[in-house]
Amino acid sequence: MSAPAKLAYFVRTAVGSIVRSPFVHVIAVASLMLSLVGFGVARIARTQLDALVDSLGGEVELTVYLTEDAAPERVTELELALTQRTGGQVHRVSPAEALGRLVTQLGEDGKGLTELSDNPLPWSLEVRLPKAARDAQALAELAKRTRALPFVTGVDYGEEALERLTLIARALEIASLIVFSLVFLTAVIVVSATLQLAIFARREEIEIQKLVGATDRFVRVPFLLEGLLQGVIAAALALAAVYGLVRWLQSGDGGLLAFARLDGKLLVDWPRLSGELFGIGCGLGLLGSFIAVRRFTRV
């Protein structure tokens, strides 16, 4: 039998098995689809959280407060050190500029500050931190060393907010990994179980094939294609479900999650997400079918 003829036979056998036993295959596809929908939602949520943390982190700066008698050359050395250490941009803020900002922020309540005879605000250095320099532990060490300088009175970088955001991101990453590992394991078990039923229903046909000289590989390929087809169908349905969910969330009906949207949109890389869903779906389908045929085709 030529290769094209074998391929045609394998495809016909796989599709025919699905048509003859639609119920068990629907269960497998539904299980895979739910797993993939969960993965897609988790992927979008993680991307959105990272973008949200970046947007919040962009507003947080490392601020170093200086003494009144700080030597200009020492301040310049500190600016260079902070730039090299963080890779960020350093801006020296005078007391007058700091007071002007405070008056603007307070609005009507801040007009009285303009009448002060002495400006109580110190000189300071503001460091705008790039994403790579926002590690909570590294910033804590940097702040500790900077506070130890004799001409520095204090360092502020929104420590509590940054630590909380970091902990939330790590907790979500670990939780999603655990949950979806269990869900994917369940999906593989369901796919394997459904194909075991299909194999059991065709056990006499398999016995005859092996008696006339069919190899294990020849017998197994149609079942592997069944698992692959289940994965493809589940991935297509999951992608459609995730797309519909994203459209709903971006509409007025998704107002409950409006706080997580940036510029009114959810950040979704559709080509990447589609590739991941189809890749994972096909992988899970093949894995489940491989487990099934390896155990039950040795007749």
Query: For position 133, which CATH number holds?
Result: 3.30.70.3040
**Residue 42 has what pLDDT?**
80
- Looking at the 3D structure of the chain, how many domains does it have? 2
Q: Which of 97, 132, 157 is the last residue of a domain?
A: 157
Same domain? For 49 and 143 the reply is no
Q: Mean pLDDT across the chain, nearest whole number?
A: 78
Question: C-alpha dihedral over 135, 140, 145, 147, to 10 degrees?
Answer: 130
Instruction: Find out whether 235 and 280 touch, Cβ atoms under 8 Å.
Output: yes
Q: How confident is the model at residue 61 (pLDDT cuts 50, 70, 90)?
A: confident
Q: Which of 107, 137, 157 is the last residue of a domain?
A: 157
Same domain? For 109 and 234 the reply is no
Which of 88-92, 196-200, 233-237, 261-265 bottoms out in mean pLDDT, i.e. has the lowest?
261-265
Q: In this structure, what are the phi and psi dihedrals at residue 262, rounded to the nearest 5 degrees?
A: -105, 125
Report how far residue 281's alpha carbon sits from residue 233's, in angstroms, rounded to the nearest whole number: 8
**Residue 74 has what pLDDT?**
92
In the predicted structure, residue 202 carries a pLDDT above the cut 70: no
Instruction: Find out whether 121 and 102 touch, Cβ atoms under 8 Å.
Output: yes
* Axis crossing angle, helix 22-57 with helix 270-296, rounded to the nearest 10: 140
Give the 3-state secondary structure of residue 91.
strand
Q: What is the pLDDT of residues 239-297, one digit of tens each?
A: 999 999 888 877 755 444 554 544 556 778 899 999 999 998 898 888 888 887 776 55
Same domain? For 172 and 287 the reply is yes
**Residue 299 has what pLDDT?**
45
Same domain? For 171 and 215 the reply is yes
More confident residue, 111 or 124: 124
**Residue 277 has what pLDDT?**
92
- CA angle in degrees (0–180, nearest 5) for 222-284-6: 20
* Axis crossing angle, helix 72-86 with helix 136-147, rounded to the nearest 10: 170
Same domain? For 120 and 198 the reply is no
Same domain? For 39 and 172 the reply is yes
Report how far residue 191's alpha carbon sits from residue 187's, in angstroms, rounded to the nearest whole number: 6
Q: 202: Cβ–Cβ under 8 A, 6 or more apart, which residues? A: 17
**Residue 181 has what pLDDT?**
81
HSE-CB of 133 using CA atoms within 13 angstroms: 19
Of 121, 142, 103, the C-alpha closest to 65 is: 121
Paired strand residues for 257:
none
Of 50, 7, 26, the C-alpha closest to 260 is: 50
Of 55, 40, 127, 61, the C-alpha closest to 92 is: 127
Report how far residue 134's alpha carbon sits from residue 166's, in angstroms, rounded to the nearest whole number: 9
Look up the domain containing 75 and give its range: 61-157
Same domain? For 174 and 265 the reply is yes
More confident residue, 163 or 82: 82
Q: How confident is the model at residue 64 (pLDDT cuts 50, 70, 90)?
A: very high
**Residue 252 has what pLDDT?**
59
Report how far residue 225's alpha carbon sits from residue 286's, in angstroms, rounded to the nearest whole number: 8
Same domain? For 173 and 30 the reply is yes
Same domain? For 208 and 138 the reply is no
Same domain? For 43 and 107 the reply is no
Q: 78: Cβ–Cβ under 8 A, 6 or more apart, which residues? A: 64, 125, 146, 149, 152
Q: 260: Cβ–Cβ under 8 A, 6 or more apart, which residues? A: 48, 49, 52, 266
Q: Which of 139, 157, 175 is the last residue of a domain?
A: 157
In the predicted structure, residue 55 carries a pLDDT above the cut 80: no
Q: How long is the chain?
A: 299
Same domain? For 287 and 171 the reply is yes
Same domain? For 229 and 149 the reply is no
Please state the pTM of the whole predicted model: 0.62
Assigned token pair, 194: 């459904």
